Amino acid sequence: MTKKASNFITIALALVGAGITSLLTYKHFVPEISLGCSASGGCGSVLSSYYSHVGPIPTSLIGLGMYLTIIGICLARHKRLKSAPAPLTAADMDDTEPSAQPIIPGLTPLNRLVWGLATVGVLVSWTLQYVSISMLHSLCPYCLSSAITITLLFLFASKDFWLERRTLDSEQKLVIGVIGAVMLCGVLVYLPKIAEFIGTPLPKPKENPEAFAKNVIRPTTHIKGDPKAPLTLVEFADLQCDSCKRGYPKIEAFIKSHPKQFRYAFRHCPLSIHRMGFAAAVAAEAAGKQGKFWEMVSALFLRQELFNAPMFNESSFTDIAKELGLDANRFEADLKSNEIKDIVVESSEDTKDGGITATPSFVVIKGSKLWKFNGAEKLFNALEDKTHEMYR
């Protein structure tokens, strides 16, 4: 393959990578848009995690900058390749120096820059993929596509940098071919597992509508608002769910603006894809033992992005409890209490009866009637529709 062809392919791959990272960056700043992926937790879980940004800067924006920089370098490299002398053929070269090729001024530093950026990109991308799968138990197809793209780009960059002014003989090509075949076999071994992970749908629980209607609110459920309000809005939420975090202030504002019509109940639905979801729910219930359930819920949502930080663990909740003025010793004892954990487990089990598999999910209760809504958008569409049967 000629250097010009390799440079063209590198530009094409960088453009693909720039497109993917542009989309992910847009999603970061406009989180309400849907990227159309939801397998195994999907993009939302990954993009809302602690690892999705460096300070205020999205990781995807850094990736976009890398791809654009590579494109710029490749365009500069293209100019030098256009003015370069034709490469030597085997007949032109001396037998003692079969690898010698004409020097192209300024090409080596550019090759080195592309290779260096691609190397860093490969290391960071696959480290994030490991974190995504092993720690977040989720997978963003777009992030995985970017990792594959930068890997292919890295291979071409390595060829351009390490084989500059060299022509491989047959034995060297054989060695590279064997190594490449071994690596490909290794990838193919894990490919079915990755495909299974991506394609496996979330298990659908066996619903029990009668049990759900009976237990949608338990004696242990935290409720705020006028006890005489005719309508009760019940939210099933995961405290590590980004959508729950964004919707929580809107729910509170709605309840405050309709004090005579609605009261608000909070139920736990910790999802397995969230590392600290269950522990956060237990922390909220432990705070509730000291009358600070709602304050803890708000505090946990505010600190949600820290939940996947390497140093964050269950003891970190005690620091939050201290900030809220709770008795730290009592709080820590309640964190370990089976009674508290059973409340969260019971709430989680109730979601199965209602067929709830995603958060946030809502139920509006009026007397013996109830209406279920999957997601805040569907809920508010119904709440704003004054002709809805809940208002009759």
Q: How confident is the model at residue 334 (pLDDT cuts 50, 70, 90)?
A: very high
365 has which bridge partners?
232, 370
Alpha-carbon dihedral sign for residues 223, 225, 230, 235: negative
Least confident of 62-66, 125-129, 221-225: 125-129
The domains found in the chain, sorted by start residue, are 3-167 (1.20.1440.130), 209-391 (3.40.30.10)
Query: What pLDDT score was predicted for residue 295?
Result: 96
Cα–Cα distance measured from residue 117 to residue 113, given in angstroms and rounded to the nearest whole number: 6
Q: Reduced to 3 states, what is the DSSP secondary structure of residue 270? A: coil
Positive or negative, the Cα torsion across 111, 90, 12, 150? negative
List alpha helices for the chain, DSSP H.
3-29, 42-47, 59-82, 107-130, 141-162, 170-199, 209-215, 242-257, 277-288, 293-302, 316-323, 328-335, 338-353, 376-383
DSSP annotation of 204 reads P
Give the pLDDT confidence score for residue 40 in this predicted structure. Answer: 43
Spatial distance between the Cα atoms of 3 and 209, rounded to a whole number of angstroms = 66
In the chain, % of residues over pLDDT 70: 80
In this structure, are residues 281 and 314 in contact, taking their beta carbons and an 8 Å threshold?
Answer: no
CA dist 74 and 267 (Å) reads 54
For the segment 295-308, the average pLDDT, to the nearest whole number, is 90
Distance of alpha carbon 216 from alpha carbon 235, whole angstroms: 10
State how far the Cα of 127 lies from the Cα of 138, in Å rounded to an integer. 14
pLDDT for res 345: 94
pLDDT tens digits, one per residue of 348-388: 999 989 988 888 999 999 998 999 998 888 999 999 999 99
3-class secondary-structure state, position 338: helix
Phi-psi region of 100 (alpha: psi -120 to 50; beta: other; left: phi over 0): beta
pTM of the shown model = 0.62
In angstroms, the CA 337 to CA 341 distance is 7
The length of the chain, given as a count of residues: 392
User: pLDDT tens for residues 198-248?
Assistant: 555 555 667 888 999 999 999 999 999 999 999 999 999 999 888 899 899
Show the tokens assigned to 295.
Answer: 């304050």
- pLDDT band (50, 70, 90) for residue 169: low
Q: Scanning the structure block, which residue is given the tokens 């590279």?
A: 176
Structural tokens at position 270: 């910790």
pLDDT-derived band at 176 (thresholds 50, 70, 90) equals low
Angle at 37 between CA 246 and CA 120, to 5 degrees: 90
